[in-house]
Amino acid sequence: MAFQPILDVRHGLVFAHEALVRGMDGSGAASVLSLVDPDSRYAFDQQCRVRAIELAASLFPRKDVPHLSINFMPNAVYEPRACIRQTLDTARRTDFPLDRIIIEFTEVEKLDTAHLLNILRSYRDIGFKTAIDDFGAGYSGLNLLTRFQPDLVKLDMDLIRGIDTDTVKQIVVSRTLDMLRDLGVTAVCEGVETAGELQLLTELGVDLIQGYYIARPTFEGLSPIPTALAA
């Protein structure tokens, strides 16, 4: 696993670290996942979460523990409470607080909405925070948001890339941020790579930022935050 921080730019503090699957050779998640056959997805999904929590428990500061954002594959989950048991056991064994775990999903494949809603509601009831990743690029988008409001929504990087010079993107993102605020959902803007993008998003009132301009993922470690952005 690698960890990439999500920075609270208003306070100059790390809000969370996202756990990302990486190969031993540094290959990305897509490359690793392409090697996982459908029959092994459930076990792979479980082991990724276990490894992420174990590493986070050893790497994160014991005081003011940041959130840990863990991706999961909804189609690998057959029954939410049964499939989360190993994750819960790992959090308890490592003394990692449940309310600091964010369960994050991305719509990389078409999903049964009723099944997905059951998962998200079950995980919220257990005490986890929930997040929708790549918002604006998935299958359900706004339709899902009308039926479930997660704690966080991560705006897709294609909406963010070059936003400081693209008036249309500025309008779309600005209206999306207004909608999320009205729904009580916290926005995260990912894929931020330039000072111009960061400045524009800050002017739009975005607090949580993720991207290479903040820090790249670090394999089995935590990325240092640039001094100019840190508290």
Task: Give the model's pLDDT for residue 138.
Answer: 62
Instruction: Give the SS3 label for residue 219.
Output: strand
Which residue has 């009723």 as its token pair?
Answer: 114
Catalytic residue among 190, 193, 203, 220: 190
> Whole-prediction pTM value?
0.91
Consecutive 10-residue averages of pLDDT for the chain (231 residues)? 95 94 81 80 86 95 90 73 86 94 77 81 92 77 87 94 97 96 97 96 97 94 82 64
What pLDDT does residue 162 have? 97
Task: Specify the pLDDT at position 189.
Answer: 97
Question: Does 190 participate in catalysis according to the annotation?
Answer: yes
Q: Are 146 and 183 in contact (CB under 8 A)?
A: no
CB 7 within 8 Å of CB 214: yes
Which one-letter amino acid corresponds to residue 104? E
Place of tokens 């775990």: 101
Q: Say if CB 163 and CB 155 are below 8 A apart.
A: no
Q: How far is CA 211 from the centre of its chain?
A: 12
What's the rounded Cα separation, in Å, for the pair 56 and 65? Answer: 10
Q: Quick one: 187 exposed, middle or buried, by C-beta within 10 A (0-12, 13-18, 19+)? A: buried
